[in-house]
Amino acid sequence: METLIGLDREPGSTLPLLQQLRFDTGSPVLNLLSTVGRRRSSAPIERTGTPGRLQDWLVGNGLPSVPVGAEQLSAVMELREAAYRLLAGDGTEADLAIACTWSSRPIPGPSLRRQPDGTLRLEQPPPSLESLMSQLARDFAELAAEPPEQLRVCDFPECGTLYLDTSRGRRRRWCSMGRCGNIAKVTRFRASHEES
């Protein structure tokens, strides 16, 4: 899977639209939060319910594919939910503690290694899910500490997706025109015809 940044669905996916991963919220952190669809409905949709789907999400965001187990998936979901509540203004001290635990984890740095010919070479450590999530948690902390003016929540009542509105004039109302915008327009059209 290639980097899919900017796309509101997975190309060629046979999954229903609401179950497809999305990469169009404006940052990998917000893309992580959007792995729950219809968040404010009575039946939210989990888009990363398996380790394999989380790996698909990583690669789609341009991050390395790393091994993911069920326990790690659960920890990522816990971080995701804490981060969402904090950005949405409903976060608790427990949510803050989860985000801080992840963001304060040390991230391994490169090591200097002597080569057989005597030269020195910089070697990067192998990526891990923990180091990737720690970096995402740091990005989240910066976003939460100083939320940008363009941070929005989708107007569709059942959605709740947080996204960065980079449109001209900053008048974007929905997380995606192809998803919530289309549903809202169809709903409005039907309502106007039922009144007639």
Residue 189 binned pLDDT confidence (cut-offs 50, 70, 90): low
Give me the pLDDT at residue 156, please: 93
Q: How many residues does the chain have?
A: 196
Q: Which pLDDT tens digit goes with each residue over 51-61?
A: 999 999 999 99
Q: Which pLDDT tens digit goes with each residue over 146-182?
A: 999 999 999 999 999 999 999 888 889 999 988 898 8
Domain 17-195 has CATH 3.40.640.10: no
pTM of the model: 0.90
CB count in 10 Å sphere of residue 126? 9
Q: Which pLDDT tens digit goes with each residue over 6-21?
A: 999 999 999 999 999 9
Distances (CA, A) of 28 to 3, 45, 112, 141: 11, 19, 30, 13
SS3 at position 125: coil
Residue 111 binned pLDDT confidence (cut-offs 50, 70, 90): very high
Provide mean pLDDT across the span 105-132: 95
pLDDT tops 90 at residue 64: yes
Give me the pLDDT at residue 144, please: 95
Q: Where are the domains of the chain?
A: 17-195
Q: What percent of the chain has pLDDT over 70?
A: 98
